[in-house]
Amino acid sequence: MTEFTERYKKLSNAELLEILANSKNYQPIAVETAEKEFENRNLSKIEINKAKSEIKSKQEEKLNIIEKRRQTEVKVKETAFKFFDTINPIQNEIQTPEKIIRLTTLIIGGLAIFSIFKQFSMLKYMFTDGLDKWDLGMLEYFFPLILLPLSIILFWKRKKIGWILLSIFLSYSAVNSLIFFFKNLGRQPSGIPALESLFPSVSPIVYLMNLLFFGGTLWLICKEDLRHIYKISKQTMFLTIVLTTVITLILIYAIIG
């Protein structure tokens, strides 16, 4: 009991009252000690009322904190629901072009975040300590990482330039996938573990799946009713895809021969 006695002597009147008011939450010996300490202090009604006021103020403060936290959680949930409701591509009342826009934004946006997160250390290095190492190969490597976030934001905002930039990215990625599909079609493992760990062989199926994904997405956003939203003519569509394909082929040839 000595341990509780010494400890409780240091407690304020309000703290002692709080222990007595919530006796179920404490050990019997702790409650008994608190009662004796409270009796020994021989408090006046004014002091007891003051202690009760302090307890009430603390309780109100706790309730305010809990309420603020609850309101914050509600706001976060409402914002999240509004966001997902906005981008939800399967709402019945939304027309097909709008569904395509929202679904494309959701998927490509997720791809952009994943790509940046995956390559963050490399990006940080190349934009700080590796500025002198920039060449055509590095430009080709980072081109999608820079283009993708910008294009998807502008595409989501229904900007014409957003459609063009996203089409450039999709065309570039589809051509890349097609070339590397054929390049890896007959490739055999080197048999050298060290070399394989540095340059692991990638199954042609992976590039084929990439080609289907990027090519399929490009086909979706090239639909006439969707292009109408972005004010994209057939001429602009063909010019964007053809020019991107030609430039991509030239770049890849210059890099890998």
pLDDT above 70 (res 1) = no
Percent of the chain with pLDDT over 70: 76
How high does pLDDT run on average in the chain? 79
The answer on pLDDT for 237 being more than 80 is yes
Average pLDDT over residues 131-152: 71
The secondary structure of residue 26, as a DSSP letter, is S
Q: Would you kindly state where each structural domain of the chain is located, as residue ranges?
A: 2-78, 94-256
- pLDDT confidence tier of residue 38, bands split at 50, 70 and 90: confident
54-93 confidence digits (pLDDT tens): 888 888 888 888 888 888 877 777 766 665 665 555 555 5
Count CA atoms within 13 Å of residue 32 on its CB side: 6
pTM > 0.75: no
What's the pLDDT at 12?
Answer: 82
